[in-house]
């Protein structure tokens, strides 16, 4: 029987579906709900040492609907990292591990470009009992104004330095979360892995403007009549996320075997998850999908992923992780392959014609029936 259970960087997960950092992991109540519903793990909302610097606004989300308005296909947010005091978070991390000792709880952390701050946040979360770290180098709005988040993720040298500090202080697996707001996601990925991170997660949200209100002529989400570009997520970003995960997984396969990838961006079904795994992800994360469909949604995603595996005869996630990766190549190589196939077909046709070999039953003729029979013989 197929199983979704997996072990990634020593973390034992009942299934590969992890709550991505964001509103679905923003306090102990909702984290507990996630574990109760069967999520494979939870990455808590990103925390920092001094939450007093984090001031959120409302509204802070904007949705893009399908033409019939029945479906949300894109979601922009201008939400910052957690505005809850760090001391409360430490207490909730401890209580969470007491309540759910088997549940994999990952702390998402972010700090300014300051060695002591990163070391302090790692040590204090570690002492509170979390199972692993995700380093948020990827929030595209608000935090970059303080040279944090995507501002660090877009600078491989700074990112490498921070990863080195964190890895020296951490006794736990460390994943670096990549920003998609960069031309070559391989560059920060290489920097994080070379600096000792066990894994990489991708993608965070894509810098975006969700739209302009045609009555007020103001861009959305409108806060006192103004806005700021935010981060785009949900199913509209999935093709971009798949491409970036493919690039990261190819780099891991070729240069960092054994390191891991947690893929995300628009995952809403087991079939979506299967595609991320086929392109090399060890686990998959979901944020906006939980905001759209609720925590229970993990059950249908698990069922769909299992049905896919059983249909294909895969017993474990490892059986199909990365098996679609070798089928990416350059455009020039596609041209060469297509030319080669057409040339082979033409040669086959020419040989058949030369041997008077019939290619369809309508070609049999009473006049040279024996020759046609001979031509079809393999010896
Ligand atoms: C409202 C909202 C808040 C988010 N907050 C965080 C955050 O605090 N830290 C973080 O690393 N990512 C954050 N994200 C990004 C998600 O974790 C995820 O990378 C992204 O939304 C893509 O996945 P999805 O399409 O499943 O939502 C947030 C996303 C949303 C929609």
Final residue in a domain of this structure, among 324, 343, 361: 324
72-77 vs 199-202, strand pairing mode: unpaired
Q: Which atom of ligand 1 is nearest to the CA of 266?
A: 25
Using CA atoms, how far residue 209 sits from 22, 63, 363, in Å, is 19, 11, 63
**pLDDT of the residue at 358:** 84
Q: Which atom of ligand 1 is nearest to the CA of 285?
A: 26
Please list the active-site residues: 139
- Does the residue 1 lie in any domain? no
**pLDDT of the residue at 141:** 82
Sequence-ordered strand ranges (E) for 33-179: 41-43, 61-65, 72-77, 105-109, 132-136, 174-177
Final residue in a domain of this structure, among 324, 348, 368: 324
Q: Which atom of ligand 1 is nearest to the CA of 291?
A: 31
Q: What is the CATH number of the domain that holds 94?
A: 3.20.20.70
267/128 same-domain check: yes
* Ligand 1 centroid – CA 344 distance (Å): 49
**pLDDT of the residue at 254:** 98
**Domain extent at residue 355:** 331-376
107/150 same-domain check: yes
- Does the residue 204 lie in any domain? yes
**pLDDT of the residue at 368:** 86
**pLDDT of the residue at 371:** 86
**Peptide bond before 280: cis, by omega within 30 degrees of 0?**
no
**pLDDT of the residue at 149:** 85
315/342 same-domain check: no
**pLDDT of the residue at 126:** 98
> For 245-290, how does the pLDDT look when each residue is reduced to its tens digit (9 = 90+)?
999 999 999 999 999 999 999 999 999 999 999 999 999 999 999 9
> For 148-207, how does the pLDDT look when each residue is reduced to its tens digit (9 = 90+)?
888 899 999 999 999 999 999 999 999 999 999 999 999 999 999 999 999 999 999 999
197/290 same-domain check: yes
Pocket (CB within 6 angstroms of ligand 1): 20-23, 45-46, 75, 77, 79, 81, 108, 136, 139, 177, 204-205, 233-234, 237, 264-267, 286-289
202/335 same-domain check: no
273/341 same-domain check: no
**pLDDT of the residue at 96:** 98
- Does the residue 227 lie in any domain? yes
* Ligand 1 centroid – CA 205 distance (Å): 6
**pLDDT of the residue at 347:** 93
**Peptide bond before 203: cis, by omega within 30 degrees of 0?**
yes
Collapsed DSSP state (helix, strand, coil) of residue 42: strand
- Does the residue 92 lie in any domain? yes
Ligand 1 pocket mutation pick from 132, 231, 264, 289 by most atoms within 8 angstroms of CB: 231
62/87 same-domain check: yes
Classify each residue of 159-173 as buried b or exposed e, where b means 16 or more C-beta atoms within 10 Å of its C-beta: bbbbbbbbbebbebb
The DSSP string of 210-239 is --B-TTT--BSS-BTTB---EEEESGGGHH
Number of domains observed in the structure of the chain = 2
- Does the residue 361 lie in any domain? yes
- Does the residue 157 lie in any domain? yes
- Does the residue 269 lie in any domain? yes
261/369 same-domain check: no
338/298 same-domain check: no
Final residue in a domain of this structure, among 282, 309, 324: 324
- Give the span between the Cα atoms of 10 and 132, in whole angstroms: 10
213/360 same-domain check: no
List of the chain residues with pLDDT < 50: none
**pLDDT of the residue at 309:** 98
- Give the span between the Cα atoms of 17 and 259, in whole angstroms: 18
The secondary structure of 294-346, three-state, reads: CCCHHHHHHHHHHHHHHHHCCCCHHHCCCCCHHHCCCHHHHHHHHHHHHHHHH
169/290 same-domain check: yes
Q: Which of 369, 372, 343 is nearest to 359 (CA)?
A: 372
341/300 same-domain check: no
- Does the residue 127 lie in any domain? yes
């Amino acid at each position: 029987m197929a199983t979704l259970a997996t072990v990634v960087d020593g973390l034992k997960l009942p299934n590969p579906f992890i709550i991505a950092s964001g509103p679905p992991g923003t306090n102990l109540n909702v984290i507990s709900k996630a574990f109760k519903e069967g999520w494979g793990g939870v990455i808590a909302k990103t925390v920092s040492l001094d939450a007093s610097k984090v001031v959120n606004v409302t509204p802070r989300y904007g949705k893009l609907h399908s033409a019939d308005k029945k479906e949300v296909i894109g979601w922009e947010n201008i939400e910052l990292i957690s505005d809850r005091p760090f001391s409360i978070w430490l207490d909730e991390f401890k209580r969470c591990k007491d309540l759910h000792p088997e549940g994999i709880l990952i702390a998402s952390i972010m700090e300014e470009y300051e060695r002591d701050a990163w070391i302090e946040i790692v040590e204090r979360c570690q002492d509170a009992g979390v199972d692993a770290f995700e380093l948020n180098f990827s929030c595209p709005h608000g935090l970059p104004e303080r040279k944090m988040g995507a501002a660090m993720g877009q600078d491989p040298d700074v990112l490498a330095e921070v990863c080195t500090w964190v890895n020296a202080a951490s006794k736990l697996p460390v994943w670096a979360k990549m920003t998609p707001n960069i031309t070559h996601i391989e560059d920060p990925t290489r920097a994080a892995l070379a600096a000792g991170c066990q894994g990489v997660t991708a993608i965070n949200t894509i810098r975006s403007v969700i739209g302009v209100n045609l009555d007020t002529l103001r861009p959305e989400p409108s806060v006192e009549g103004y806005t700021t570009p935010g981060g785009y997520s949900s199913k509209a970003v999935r093709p971009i996320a798949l491409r970036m995960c493919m690039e990261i997984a190819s780099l891991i396969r070729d240069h960092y075997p054994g390191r891991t990838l947690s893929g995300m961006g628009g995952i809403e079904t087991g079939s979506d998850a299967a595609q991320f795994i086929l392109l090399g992800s060890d686990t998959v994360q979901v944020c906006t999908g939980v905001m759209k469909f609720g925590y229970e949604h993990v059950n249908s995603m698990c069922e769909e992923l299992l049905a896919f595996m059983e249909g294909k005869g895969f017993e474990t996630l490892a059986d199909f992780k990365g098996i679609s990766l070798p089928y990416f190549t350059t455009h020039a190589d596609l041209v060469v392959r297509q030319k080669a196939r057409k040339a082979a077909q033409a040669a086959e046709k020419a040989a058949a014609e030369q041997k008077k070999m019939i290619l369809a039953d309508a070609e049999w003729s009473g006049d040279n029936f024996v020759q046609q029979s001979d031509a079809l013989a393999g010896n």
